[in-house]
Amino acid sequence: MDTRQKMLFGIADLESARPAIAATGDLLKGKQNLNITIFHGALDADLSSFTRLLRLAPEVAEEHRKICNLKEQELLEQAKGALLDFGFDAASVTTVCEGKCHDPAAAMLRLANWEGLDPIVLARRKEPLLERMLMGSVTYRVVRMAEWRAVWLMDPPIASRDVLVALVGAPISRRVMDHAVQHFAHLQESRFTLFHVIPPLPPVYWDNTYILSELEREEREKTKARWMEEYEERVRKTAAEGKCQLLAAGVREENVVFKVRSARRGMAADILTELAEGNYGILAIGRKGSKEISPFQLGSIADKLLHNARGCMICLVS
């Protein structure tokens, strides 16, 4: 049985990819049984206008096209070399360049599905505000299309090697915890904080507009207390299991903390506050916490974190 972990690193250009690759290499160096595939979707170079303007012969235009292709290959080799500098074995790093690629996001997801590559790692490109809300268009599309794949969004420089795992009461928290253990338990000297923000009560438990009798109010309070107790118990159970897994992987007990906080400014805002105040470099969150959300949409918490968290690796777990 093949137990190697396989991840896909998608790059658009070396300028944005180089610091992201370096940050990834630094966080994952020393990790055993890891294969990394670096992918680049090369857009078909349209040289027709250039050819007509300079009145170039077809064979000259084709030579220019070959030069463009060589530059794409050089980009991939430089990206591979950046990982090898962190001690990765050359045999564990492969490169894939898809020529005449009209949709790099879709091509990336096809490759991930065919080869069983998970997670997909992307660099946050320094785009203007109007360019897909602080994310490059390819990144934006991959994040929303990768329903069954985890996505890591790199925004170097990474603040630290400490890990913040955001837990909620939904079943997704177990997958988030498993993901954090699988990919980051090798950071045995790092601090792991299992963080839960207690959400406001669902509307079904709000007080009705009519005046409740004393008996009705007493029953309502018991129902709310029972819901809160059951909700917190699910989170605490997930955190306890995750802590056991981290300790079994060699992380010191004093480096694993479970923190619970009542919502103050909002769940996403409170996670961002903890992320900044704790100087965490890795944030693991669930893609969505409700089955009612469309497969191609993010939960509101994940969406806010993706657009506002900086200086960290965001691990979006499906």
All structural domains of the chain with their residue ranges: 1-157, 158-318
Whole-number Å distance between alpha carbons of 245 and 109:
30
Instruction: Give the domain 158-318 fold.
Output: Rossmann fold (3.40.50)
Q: Which CATH number fits domain 1-157: 3.40.50.620, 1.10.510.10, 2.40.160.20, 3.30.2420.10?
A: 3.40.50.620
Find where tokens 């207690």 sit: 198
* pLDDT tens-digit profile, the chain (318 residues): 456 799 999 987 667 788 899 999 999 988 888 999 999 887 655 445 444 544 555 554 455 455 456 677 788 888 889 899 999 999 999 998 887 778 888 999 999 999 999 999 998 766 544 444 445 578 888 888 888 899 999 999 999 999 999 997 667 889 999 999 999 999 999 999 999 988 766 555 556 555 667 787 777 777 777 777 777 788 888 999 999 999 999 999 999 999 988 778 888 899 999 999 999 999 999 986 544 444 444 567 888 888 888 899 999 998
**Structure tokens of 314?**
């965001």
Query: Position of tokens 């794949």?
Result: 149
Asked if the domains 1-157 and 158-318 are classified in one and the same CATH topology, the answer is yes
What is the CB neighbour count within 10 angstroms for residue 279?
13
Q: Is the dihedral of CA 5, 81, 95, 103 positive or negative?
A: positive
| H-only helix segments in the chain | 14-28, 48-54, 58-84, 104-115, 137-145, 172-184, 214-248, 267-277, 300-308
